[in-house]
Each structure stands twice: as structure tokens, then as C-alpha cells.
Amino acid sequence: MGTILRYLLFLILIFPALCRAQWHFEEQAIMGTSVKVTFWHNDEVQAKKIASAFFAEMERINQLMSPYIESSELYSINKNAGIKEVSIGEELYQLIELSIEIGNQTKGAFDITFASVGFLYNYRERINPNQESLLNNQALIDYRQIKLNPQKQSVLLAQKGMKIDLGGIAKGYAVDNAVSLLQTLGVTSALVSAGGDTKALGKHGQRPWLLAIQDPRKKGKHAIQLPMEDEAISTSGDYERYFIKEGIRHHHIIDPKTGRSASEVQSVSIIGAKSVMTDALSTSVFVLGVKEGLALINQMPAYEALIIDKDRKLHFSNGLLAN
């Protein structure tokens, strides 16, 4: 092909497509948080369709796993606590199974039955449980009392009043799923986040994505920035949903041993391949604190941790120290 012809073809066919190629950004409120997606695509119309499919997938998971939506499978499990087992779909069954496994790995720091006490908190209305209701409900926090029946694919919460909530793992699960969906739809470069759970697909142009970790006590300020490529990061912080009463910070991460907000650290970020794991582990390490938390992550080669403790001191897992 002659040089001039090639040049003309470039001008007519390729150049306009390159001009149209651009970053697309959309944000929606789903799962009680802000869900954001940024991705690269060369076709505006196609990109709109991809964004719609992305948010539809997020909403599908919300409908399945929300403890507030009466038609959700999770709602049905809680409603039948101490009464009867509930058969559920494979997806929720597997996530509950994984939550129990993580409960074992973290010696109960991660416990989805925290909700048996967790529902007594109302952060918007500044309500925390009094000593009596805390004592009455605390025995109901015990993930070992979630009875799974693989044959029937059913779940029974052994005692009346027990509740489960997947707030510490479902967003990460949803992020993994949504990123896989983007890949299936041909996207090779994207950043997806649901609240504190973020996953980077590919690079941001020629460079890795740059992820900022929030300073837990200075709103809008960054404590640290990290380059990311094809990996996930989750941050759990005591500044996300909280109120302060009589000098005590009541926030949304509950120590299953006490039924009260965990107070050893201000923020935990976990980095690794799977968002479902970084999500659950960030919540777990927040409860475990610096010493036990780092010990846990240092024996998991695929995951790294960055902790900001209650005195604002930074701590890194061995893999991050080595870099």
C-alpha cells in the first residue's frame, strides 16, 4: 500500500476513533455507599452500555445481600434465625462459607454475626447499646453457630435473635465481580471502587493507577499514595461511620469479643489480588490491632497491610517493608 494511501486511511478510519477514545467516569449510590467506575473506551455509545451493565451488576448483588431489603436472601436468613434453615442461591451460600473460613483464619475477629449486636447501633442518630442490651445480645455473636447444609445449600442461624451482615465483605465481592464483567466486555483499563474497596484493572494510560489512603483524622488529606496495577486495595477506618459520645468514638467496626467498636487502630489498608479478601482482611486486621494483625498478614504471601495506629504511627507488613 502506498504511503499516501496509508496516511489517508489513518486520517479517515483510525484518527477519528483515537479522538473519541477517552476516560469514562460514572458514580452511583449503591450498597449504602458511593460506587465509582472509571474506564477507557473508544466508543461513547458502547461505553454508556458498559457503565449501565456495571451498575446493574452492583445492584443485583445489593438485592441479594442487603440486610435491609425484605426480598433479599440474607433478610430471609435473619428472619428465620432459631426457627428454620433457609435454602439460598450458590453465590450467597459461597460468600457465607468464605466468611466462616475467614472467621476461623482470624480467630473470630471477622465474624458476620457481629450484626446480632451491630443492629443496636445507629450512627446517624448517635445511638449505642447500653450495658444491659449489650450483655443480652453478646452471646449471639458467634459465627460457629451459623449452620450450613451443603446438600440443601441452606443456612440456619442456630439461635433466635442472631443476625448476619456482610458489610465487611460484600462490597469487595461486588467489586471483583464488576471488574470481571468489565473485562468480559472488553475493557482493559479501569478503576472500580465501592466505598473503601478499590480495584485497579491494568494501568492508567502508561502509568500505574495512583491510589491515595485517607488521613484518618484530616478529612480530604492523604496519608500516603500507592501505585496500583491489576490489584485490589481495601481500607477500613474508624472515621467512615461514627459518632463521639463522652469521649468515646463509636464506629462501625465491632470487636466480636466485646460488642463495642474496636479501638486499637485508626485505619487499615490491605493490598492483594482479590477484592473480596482485601475487604474482609481490612476489617479483620482493624479488630486484631497492630501486633496480631501484622502477624496474620505476614503469613499470607498474597496480601500486604498498612496500618495507622491509634497514635497515628504507620506500620507495614513485611512485603511492603521489603519494597
Measured CA angle at 278 (ends 276, 281), to 5 deg: 105
State the sign of the Cα–Cα–Cα–Cα dihedral 150, 154, 158, 161. positive
CA distance 144 to 196: 28
Q: Which of 37, 78, 92, 165 binds ligand AMP (CB under 6 A)?
A: 165
Binding flags for ligand AMP, 224-263, as an x/- string (CB under 6 A): ------------x---x-----------xxx-x-------
110 binds ligand AMP (CB under 6 A): yes
Binding piece for ligand AMP, criterion CB under 6 A, among 49-57, 280-288, 290-298, 305-313: 280-288
Q: What residue 228 binds from Mg ion, ligand AMP, none (CB within 5 to 8 A, per partner kind)?
A: none
Which 8-state DSSP code applies to residue 163? -
Q: What residue 165 binds from ligand AMP, Mg ion, none (CB within 5 to 8 A, per partner kind)?
A: ligand AMP
CA distance 92 to 87: 10
The alpha carbon of 234 is separated from its chain's Cα centroid by a whole number of angstroms, namely 6
The alpha carbon of 209 is separated from its chain's Cα centroid by a whole number of angstroms, namely 19
How many CB atoms sit inside 10 A of residue 238's CB?
A: 24
Q: Which of 115, 283, 305, 306 binds Mg ion (CB under 5 A)?
A: 283
**Calculated CA dihedral for residues 309, 311, 314, 315, nearest 10 degrees:** -50
For the CB of residue 264, give the shortest distance to ligand AMP in the complex, in Å.
13
Residue 211 identity (one-letter amino acid): L
96 binds ligand AMP (CB under 6 A): no
Q: Which of 61, 282, 296, 305 binds Mg ion (CB under 5 A)?
A: 282
Residue 204 identity (one-letter amino acid): H
- Which residue, 204 or 259, is less far from ligand AMP as judged by CB? 259
- Which residue, 66 or 282, is less far from Mg ion as judged by CB? 282
Residues at the interface with ligand AMP (CB under 6 A): 110-112, 114, 165, 167-168, 196, 236, 240, 252-254, 256, 279, 282-283, 287
